[in-house]
Amino acid sequence: MVVICGGGIIGTSIAYYLAKRGVVSTVVDRVGICPAASGKAGGFLALDWNDGGPVGPLTRKSFELHAFLAEELNARTDYRRLTCQAISVTGGSRGPPKQAKLQGVEWADLGLVGSRPLGDESTIAQVHPKLLGEALWAEAAKAGCKLRIGQVDGVERSEGRVVGVSVDGEVIPTDKVVIAMGPWSDLASEWLGIPRTYGQKYHSVLMKPERVLSQAVFFQGASDPEVYPRPDGTVYVTGFPDPPGPVRENPGEVEVRADVVAKLTKSMTLVSSELGNAPVVLEQSCYLPCSPDGDPIIGAVPNLVGAYVATGHSCWGILNAPATGLAMSELIIDGHAASVDLTAFSPSRFG
C-alpha cells in the first residue's frame, strides 16, 4: 500500500493513476479532497507557455492528459477550450475609463489601450479544479483507495527504508509514502531533509455576469488582474499576490482579507462594464506551493527508500497535475518514469 500525504490535485492524480495500475493507496489530508489551492484555483490550462524551460515537456504531456481525462472520467469537470488575450488598459490612471472595443476582445471594454492573443482553442483550455479532483478521487475510491482525515506528523523509517507514516500520533504501516501537501510539504523538510516549500497567497472572487463568457484575459494595468470565465456562468478573478514565505495558516482556515477582495472587484470596474456591475458570489484565498528555484520538486527522496515527493508546482499545479500523477505512478511501480523525464525535478538537485 502507498500512503499519499495530501488530498489536493497532485495527491488525487497520483492515487488515480496508481489505481489504474492496480495499486491501492491511502490519502491522508487534514480536511479532505482538494480543500486548499486545488479547490480554489482558476483551472487555467496552457499548452505551450512553459516551452523552453524544464517544465515544458511536463506541461505538454499534462495538457494532453487533461483532454483525455475529460472523456475518460465521464464526470462533470467543466473542461472546455477557450481563447486568451493580453489586454493593456489605462486602469483609471487617466481619469474614468472610456468605453472602447478592440478586435478579438470579447468582454473587456473600458480603458483599453491594446491587445494581443495569447492562445486559441488549440492551445488554451480550462477545468474546474475542485470538480476534477473529486472525479479523480471517486475513481480511485472505486478501486479501493481510502481517505484518512488527519494530520501527518512524521515518517517512520528503519535501516534506510520507509516503514510507516504517523498520522495524529498513530502509525500507518507502509513501505511507500508520497509527500504531496502543497506548501505544507515544508513540514516534511524536517522529517526527510527535502527542500523547503513556501506558499504564495492569492485571493480570488467569483462574479456572476448576465451572460456566459468564454475568453480568459491577462490584464496589463489596473494592477494586472487575471480573469478566467467559466462555463457555469461565473467569472474567476484573481491578482494582488502576497510575497512567498512559510505558511502559518492551516488548510481550510485561510483568512480572506476584505481589502484584497475590494481591490479585485474594483479592478473589474476599470476594465469591463459587464463585470463592473456583476455581483460577487464567492470570496476566497489560498496558497500556491513554491520551491526555492521555481520548478516543481518531483521524485524519489535521496537516502530513504520508499519516500517520494511531488510539490512546488506554483501557479501551474492544476495544469501539471495529471502528468505528475502519471509519472509518479510509474516511478513508484516501475522504478522510473516513462511518460515524462523527471530528472530536472529531482529533490537531489538542491544538494
Q: State the average pLDDT over residues 28-32.
A: 98
Q: What's the pLDDT tens digit per position in 131-189?
A: 999 999 999 999 999 999 999 999 999 999 999 999 999 999 999 999 999 999 999 99
Range scoring the smallest mean pLDDT among 6-15, 102-111, 275-284: 102-111
Band of the pLDDT at 326, cuts 50, 70, 90?
Answer: very high
In sequence order, what are the beta bridge partners of 286? 202
* 60 contacts 47 by C-beta, under 8 angstroms: yes
* 60 contacts 49 by C-beta, under 8 angstroms: no
Q: What pLDDT is stored for residue 93 in this prediction?
A: 53
Q: State the average pLDDT over residues 28-34.
A: 98
Pull the grid cell for residue 9: 490535485
pLDDT exceeds 70 at position 95: no
Q: How far apart are CA 156 and CA 152, in angstroms?
A: 11
Pull the grid cell for residue 26: 491511502
Cα→Cα distances 227→214, 232, 241, Å = 11, 15, 14
Find the angle CA(341)-CA(347)-CA(351) to the nearest 5 degrees.
125
Band of the pLDDT at 216, cuts 50, 70, 90?
Answer: very high
Q: What pLDDT is stored for residue 137 in this prediction?
A: 98
Residue 177's contacts (CB-CB under 8 Å, 6 or more residues apart) are: 2, 3, 4, 5, 155, 162, 165, 306, 307, 308
**φ, ψ of residue 133 in degrees (nearest 5):** -60, -40
Band of the pLDDT at 96, cuts 50, 70, 90?
Answer: low
pLDDT exceeds 60 at position 209: yes
Measured distance between the N- and C-terminal CA atoms of the chain, rounded to whole angstroms: 29
pLDDT exceeds 80 at position 327: yes
Band of the pLDDT at 262, cuts 50, 70, 90?
Answer: very high
Q: How far apart are CA 335 and CA 119, in angstroms?
A: 37
Q: How far apart are CA 94 and CA 260, in angstroms?
A: 23
Pull the grid cell for residue 76: 462533470
Q: What pLDDT is stored for residue 102 in this prediction?
A: 86
Per-residue H/E/C for the chain: CEEEECCCHHHHHHHHHHHHCCCCEEEEECCCCCCCHHHHCCCEEECCCCCCCCCHHHHHHHHHHHHHHHHHCCCCCCCEECEEEEEEECCCECECCCECCCCCCCCCCECEEEEEEEECCCCEEECCHHHHHHHHHHHHHHCCCEEEECCEEEEEEECCEEEEEEECCEEEECCEEEECCHHHHHHHHHHHCCCCCEEEEEEEEEECCCCCCCEEEEEECCCCCEEEECCCCCEEEEECCCCCECCCCCCCCCCCCHHHHHHHHHHHHCCCHHHHCCCEEEEEEEEEEECCCCCCEEEECCCCECEEEEECEHHHHHHHHHHHHHHHHHHHHHCCCCCCCCHHHCHHHHC
